[in-house]
């Protein structure tokens, strides 16, 4: 009996020993798994609970003009954000009430991101709210205050259709570009959108120690921090003083002006009026202001220079002239008689000059902008040839300017007319109308300015662009904007020479004489486009100087009447500013003739002559 009891005790001892050994083995394995095999996982979780990875937003790049004048700058602002995993509903409700933020929208945002990444509640909070939140930080666990920046425009700087605006990224934008994350501020329009990837910079990272309530209590390991990279600066072709002057010409007008350096395609000025104060759309945007801008009947948010399309009127007669000459349909001596009207079938169409121009050849018809001549010329050209040369000269497609949302206009073709009117449902009247720049034909002011550049360079043109250089803060290097040059084949120099001569006559005694700049030989063409919604639109395009062109300009004034009477004088004032600002400071002095024979010397401009010009009329 005693032996049996002893044996039982030994068995139990062995069993307990085995159990203890197994338990100890499991414990050792657990320690090994936690401390060795899965160490990184638990270290990361531990760090996540006590260390927060904070994104540091970069400073957005500046925008400057050709003279290094800062046009778009930054100013620091403070943003209230919430940590989704820490913030409570009660705290969130109180914070939204203080900041007058939409609680439903904020909650919806928080539901998308559940973690420790701060989600924006309200940007550009005022100083009073900032002080209150900072003083009561302990009462709002999960609240963080971020330092960001918003766009700032120096006094006198506007041009919202050039610079554009910045806003918070949308879900769609995030899908299109994975670089964007929730809460990012991105370019929405203008240069801000076109060059967003360059000027936004790259975010940095800081690691902060936090307590159980999510409050920051200090730095973690500064060697892990990554500094943000300043966004690249943009340098524009335009001189902003010239841009301001161009905008001042439209104080009482609706319309647009586009001026291009024909030597490289750089935009010298781009005006769209009416516009709006860009300061209204920086930082926290007042919903009422945004609603007012959206509903304004003058559409100030719309860039007329690149997005609005109009019939080009008589400026387009140059296209008809080029097509007819190049295809040997006429010579410049071909004449037509203008009694003031022209009969097409049972319809009578009129020339702008009621008494008529009499019998005129091509150059005289361009000079006097004779509708009857070009009605007949359009019928001789035919739709297919007319459409071919229209597209060849850049109409009906975007120019590719470095601004988003450019409209491509419309060049009606046979296929277009058959679709709209049915097979053979359109008439000769449609064709005659197109030859004088009316009917279904639509173009933007930018396209017409590009056309003036093509004419100036006899078929050579450069893609229009605003930005000429980009400075990269990371590499400390400045990159030049590559000039993209194109060549139009199929139009001879002889044809260009002929239309040049016609346009030269336009500003020298023709319909565009009010557009001529004193002391500058130039060429131009007026246009008055019928408008089914009101008074006619006034057009004028030109290039100057005539022999060695530098600048091409197109002007439209909506519902203003005749192009020669309204648009041409505005273009003249712009060109006066362009040329006189460059030449007056270096007006030539009379040469010293004391030791040599007297020479005939005539300065390009005389100061007394320039001062007497009616620039401000």
List, for residues 260-312, the tens digit of each pLDDT value.
999 999 999 999 999 999 999 887 788 899 899 999 988 999 999 999 999 99
Question: Of 314, 362, 298, which is closest to residue 335 (Cα–Cα)?
Answer: 362
User: What pLDDT is stored for residue 451 in this prediction?
Assistant: 98
- Which one is predicted more confidently, 15 or 579? 579
| pLDDT (average), residues 488-510 | 97
Of the given ranges (61-75, 166-180, 405-419), which has the lowest mean pLDDT?
Answer: 166-180
Q: Which of 454-458, 558-562, 566-570 has the lowest mean pLDDT?
A: 558-562
**Which residue intervals of 229-283 are DSSP H helices?**
240-248
Helix (H) / strand (E) containing 449: helix 445-456
Check if the beta carbon of residue 325 is closer than 8 Å to that of residue 332.
yes
Compute the radius of gyration of the chain from its Cα atoms: 35
- For the cut 60, the answer to whether the pLDDT of residue 608 exceeds it is no
524-to-218, 237, 390, 427, 555 alpha-carbon distances in Å: 69, 23, 18, 31, 11
Q: How confident is the model at residue 533 (pLDDT cuts 50, 70, 90)?
A: confident
**Is residue 410 a contact partner of residue 444, using CB atoms and an 8 Å limit?**
no
pLDDT for the residue numbered 47: 59
Residue 242 banded pLDDT, cuts 50, 70, 90: very high
Q: What is the pLDDT of residue 593?
A: 39
Higher pLDDT, 608 or 155: 155
Mean pLDDT value across residues 371-377: 96
Distance CA 175, CA 445 (A): 34
Is residue 592 scored above 50 in pLDDT? no
Residue 40 confidence (pLDDT): 61
Check whether 11 has a pLDDT greater than 80.
no
Comparing 110-114, 122-126, 391-395, 475-479, the range with the smallest average pLDDT is 110-114
pLDDT value of position 614: 32
**pLDDT of 309:** 96
**Two tokens, residue 405:** 């949302």
Asked whether residue 57 carries a pLDDT value surpassing 70, the answer given is: yes
Mean pLDDT of the chain: 87
- In this predicted structure, what is the pLDDT of residue 613? 33
Q: What is the pLDDT of residue 349?
A: 87
Would you state the pLDDT for residue 2? Answer: 62
Instruction: Tell me the DSSP string of 29-63.
Output: HHHHIIIIITHHHHHHHHHHHHEEEEEEPPPPPPE
Would you state the pLDDT for residue 587?
A: 43
Q: What percent of the chain has pLDDT over 70?
A: 88
Query: What CA–CA distance (Å, rounded) separates 558 from 305?
Result: 12
Q: Give the pLDDT score at 48.
A: 60
Residue by residue, DSSP assigns 117-176 as S-EEEESS--HHHHHHHHHTGGGSTTEEEEEEEEEE--TT---HHHH--EEEPPHHHHHH
Contact 161, 272 (CB under 8 A): yes
183-240 pLDDT, tens digit each: 889 999 999 999 999 999 998 888 878 776 566 677 887 888 888 999 999 999 999 9
Per-residue pLDDT, 39? 65
Average pLDDT rounded to a whole number, residues 40-66:
77
Asked if residue 120 lies in contact with residue 168, where contact means CB atoms within 8 angstroms, the answer is yes
- State yes or no: pLDDT of 598 exceeds 50: no
Of residues 4 and 454, more confidently modeled: 454
pLDDT 10s digits, 66-91: 999 999 999 999 999 888 888 888 88
Peptide bond preceding 274: is omega within 30 degrees of 0, i.e. cis? yes
The pLDDT tens digits of the residues spanning 439-479 come to: 999 999 999 999 999 999 999 999 999 999 999 999 999 99
> Minimal CA–CA distance to 529: which of 369, 373, 376, 294?
369
Q: Does residue 584 register a pLDDT over 80?
A: no
**pLDDT over 90 for what percent of the chain?**
60
Distances (CA, A) of 549 to 40, 289, 319, 456, 534: 69, 44, 20, 6, 36
């Amino acid at each position: 009996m005693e032996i049996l009891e002893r044996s039982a005790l030994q068995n139990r001892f062995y069993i307990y020993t085995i159990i203890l050994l197994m338990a100890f083995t499991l414990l050792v394995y657990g320690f090994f798994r936690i401390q060795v095999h899965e160490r990184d996982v638990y270290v990361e979780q531990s760090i996540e609970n006590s260390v927060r990875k904070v994104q540091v937003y970069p400073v957005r790049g500046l925008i400057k003009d050709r003279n290094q004048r800062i046009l778009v700058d930054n100013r620091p602002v403070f943003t209230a954000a919430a940590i989704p995993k820490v913030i409570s509903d009660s705290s969130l409700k109180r914070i939204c009430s203080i900041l007058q933020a939409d609680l439903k929208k904020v909650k919806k945002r928080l539901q998308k991101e559940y973690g420790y990444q701060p989600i924006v509640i309200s940007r550009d909070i005022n100083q009073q709210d900032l002080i209150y939140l900072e003083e009561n930080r302990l009462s709002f666990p999960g609240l963080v205050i971020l330092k960001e920046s918003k766009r700032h425009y120096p006094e006198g700087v506007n041009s919202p259709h050039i610079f554009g605006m910045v806003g918070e990224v949308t879900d769609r934008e995030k899908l299109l570009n994975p670089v964007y994350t929730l809460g990012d501020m991105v370019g929405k329009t203008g240069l801000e959108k076109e060059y967003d990837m360059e000027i936004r910079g790259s975010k940095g990272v800081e690691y902060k120690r936090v307590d159980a309530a999510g409050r920051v209590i200090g730095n973690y390991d500064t060697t892990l921090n990554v500094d943000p990279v300043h966004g690249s600066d943009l340098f524009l072709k335009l001189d902003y003083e010239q841009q301001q002057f161009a905008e001042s010409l439209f104080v009482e007008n609706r319309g647009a002006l586009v001026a291009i350096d024909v030597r490289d395609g750089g935009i010298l000025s781009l005006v769209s009026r009416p516009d709006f104060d860009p300061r209204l759309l920086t930082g926290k945007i007042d919903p009422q202001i945004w609603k007012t801008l959206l509903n304004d009947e003058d559409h100030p948010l719309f860039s007329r220079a690149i997005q609005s399309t109009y019939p080009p009127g008589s400026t387009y007669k140059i296209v008809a002239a080029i097509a007819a000459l190049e295809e040997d349909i006429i010579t410049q001596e071909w004449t037509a008689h203008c009694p003031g009207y022209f009969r097409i079938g049972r319809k009578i169409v009129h020339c702008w000059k009621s008494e008529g121009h009499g019998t005129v050849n091509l150059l005289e018809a361009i000079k006097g902008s004779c509708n009857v001549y070009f009605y007949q010329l359009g019928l001789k050209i035919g739709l297919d040839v007319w459409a071919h040369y229209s597209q060849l000269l850049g109409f009906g497609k975007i120019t590719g300017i470095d601004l988003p949302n450019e409209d491509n206009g419309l060049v009606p073709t046979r296929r277009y007319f058959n679709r709209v009117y049915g097979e053979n449902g359109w008439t000769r009247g449609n064709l005659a109308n197109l030859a004088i720049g009316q009917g279904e034909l639509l173009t933007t002011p930018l396209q017409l300015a590009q056309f003036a550049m093509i004419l100036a360079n006899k078929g050579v043109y450069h893609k229009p662009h605003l930005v000429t250089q980009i400075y990269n803060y990371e590499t400390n290097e400045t990159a030049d904007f590559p000039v993209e040059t194109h060549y139009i084949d199929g139009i001879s120099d002889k044809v260009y020479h002929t239309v040049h001569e016609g346009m030269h006559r336009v500003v020298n005694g023709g319909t565009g004489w009010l557009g001529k700049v004193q002391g500058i030989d130039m060429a131009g063409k007026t246009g008055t486009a019928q408008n089914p919604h009101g008074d006619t639109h006034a057009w004028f395009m030109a290039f100057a100087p005539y022999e060695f062109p530098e600048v091409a300009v197109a002007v439209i004034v909506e519902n203003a009447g005749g192009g020669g009477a309204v648009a041409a004088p505005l273009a003249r004032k712009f060109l006066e500013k362009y040329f006189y600002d460059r030449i007056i400071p270096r007006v030539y002095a009379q040469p010293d003739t004391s030791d040599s024979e007297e020479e005939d010397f005539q300065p390009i401009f005389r100061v007394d002559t320039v001062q007497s010009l009616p620039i401000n009329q």
